Structure 1
Amino acid sequence: MVDADQTFVIVGGGLAGAKAAETLRAEGFTGRVILICDERDHPYERPPLSKGYLLGKEERESVFVHEPAWYAAHDIELHLGQTVDAIDRSAKTVRFGDDGTAVRYDKLLLATGAEPRRLDIPGTDLAGVHHLRRLAHAERLKHVLTNLGRDNGHLVIAGAGWIGLEVAAAAREYGAEVTVVHSGPTPLHSVLGPELGQLFAELHREHGVRFHFGARLTEITGQDGMVLAARTDDGEEHPAHDVLAAIGAAPRTHLAEAAGLEIADPAHGGGIVVDERLRTSDPDIHAAGDVVSFPHALFDTRLRVEHWANALNGGPAAARAMLGHDVTYDRVPYFFSDQYDLGMEYSGWAPPGSYDQVVIRGDAGKREFVAFWVKENRVLAGMNVNVWNVTDTIQRLIRGRARVNTEHLADPHIPLEDLAP
């Protein structure tokens, strides 16, 4: 039984950590809740950083999980701009802050998130090289895109994943020239495969984005500290005033590693290894959000999911598990994206090689359709593009694991609900 004498510490001030703190209070926990954030901003959500906020369509205040006064009102001890240096598992303490403050915990939640992967090439110290992960990054990038649009400047983006494409769309809306360099054959190849990746290439080309596939940046050249061009491993050189590195994110596991917690193989995404209750190899330490590698029975594998919904749902699940509730974290992975006039939602997990066909329901040419990744007539994943209110049905199809008639799946005249268990 949890009582008022206990102390729960949360390391990480993103969405997962903030929602975990909220859930602890909502579930009636009356002990100390300490939330330690290494940023000076209050906990915020990340999707607007490459979407509405970056485009200037959402105010800065809209990104925050709670109003600043909420934390004190709910007796959450919030420490902003504080870095945790170490976890002592035997003493059950965490050490943080400039003065090395140590606080004892009864339960500890690691929600340390992920950080942008860096380009390991000459020229990354130039002033015009950017990443996008934090609110400060988005604020700086918004200013950069405004100037590029005004001056007809060039932005080179390394990577055609979700962040790279969303920033490309934002940059074109500002009026900047954009070149995307990507090592794969199509955008989003590792997520959508070639079938749907090509659709996003066509979308961006229609809006003036240039792609350079099958190549990697090898050098960023400059003068007087400013970017002039970006070179690739096949000898091409692209003019650039700014460069965005959007080559993925790495889980921030250093604190967990130093504490001796089990870490997943980097070949499988890395991350802190947790069980279905989001417990680490230490039963008094849980983890949630981008940093965790969790077992998913539906897909018979471990997953590390770097998306908003995983933080939104994982933080509360971990909080309930810390309170002793019976928890099984097995949410179907979900994410969404907005690019120009295309809005989409994706549910499931179907990397290239895991499926045997892609079934399209609707008109892909008009970009109003639902795509299904199918193996042996079972739906592994679904993506709705400019078609709404179907996510719950798609997720039921995935969870049900029932065999479906693919001709019926493709037929928009047959209600999708009729195919879901």
Structure 2
Amino acid sequence: MVPTASPTSSARDLEQRHGARNYHPLPVTLVRGEGVFLWDDQGRRYLDMMSAYSAVSFGHSHPTLVQVLTEQAGRLAVTSRAFHTDRLGPFLARLCRDTGMERALPMNTGAEAVETALKAARKWGYKIKGVPEGQARIVVAEGNFAGRTTTIVGFSSEAQYRDGFGPFAPGFVSVPYGDIAALERALTPETVAFLVEPIQGEAGIVVPPPGYLRAARELCTRHNVLLICDEVQTGLGRTGRVLACQHEGVVPDGLTLGKALGGGLLPVSAFCAREEVMGVFRPGDHGSTFGGNPLGAAVGLAALELLEREGLCERALHLGERLMSGLRALRHPALQQVRGRGLLVGVEIDPAFAHARTVCEALLHEGVLSKDTHDTVVRFAPPLTVSAGQIDEAVQAFGRALAAVEAGQRRPGRKAA
């Protein structure tokens, strides 16, 4: 018999009772969002310094995007790709213009975009480069995070992501992130692609050494290997440029986008590539029922237009410098490093001081929302619409949160974390 909820059951109780335990959320139940703010079920307002892992780069419920979504939903939402629609072409054209690529293949989630890139790279290797069938190799970087499919977790270096989910697809070689010599050693005649994040997000906002991506581009060109940049989290203004790879003047052979492409309203992603790479696909090779649907295409196009019209790339670059300067100026001994680019910033917390989740919980009590990653890093990645004053408020709240954690450790009978 299926259990029924009592009228007094809270939404959080129901989630804990009936949902899979694959997340460990902070103890807050959110009910509304507007701009850079979120409200909980008690009416308390919070400054969002995470923006759903960059998916809400334009802020919550941006009126322009909501209007486009509403109007398109009332006209035509989903048809499948069995037919042409009036929304897809303009979206793809703008996407190619903004990324510098020649073609784009729309999907839904970031993981789907990466899976699409992997399929394209392999088929390019067999049909264009001439790699013997079944021998294609793709090089990835340690610490990567590209999604949760079995293929993707198979090349993850994070033990928990792999535990219990094998066997995994062969053909992937992992090298240390930021180590160009290791990348060169890994390239063979059978290598078809190097898949890399310009900045590693889930690994803890890890920025590679200057010139790394440019050197990778040169190596890939020399060895006839595709350079594919995973820009799902870093793309669309997050780091201060439309694409993070543009900071080094790098033009990849292909790239993946997602998260912010859906305007914080629905999942929209894409694999973008030059003609030779995308040309390996023929009708029936690959597809998605929802990928490229009119609703997603309309919102995606509006998001790209908004990015340019509101100058959000420049805003992220300027405010990111303010954010990192403010965090470093706190000079708290628990802060081991402040790193990032644009409005993608990670703060490394000394584990001897506290678990990063403990700091995030203290930050929650200060009215600021963020989430830890890999136990030691607190992220700061607000909507790109955040103001300078709100950046300063977040920094001040972080300072108070550190002080609160420190004070809690000094209570009688309590040991330091």
- Higher-RCO chain (CA-CA 8 Å, sequence separation at least 6): 2
Structure with bigger strand share is: 1
As a proportion of its length, which structure holds more helix?
Answer: 2
Check whether TM > 0.5: no
Q: Normalized against structure 1, the TM-score is what?
A: 0.29
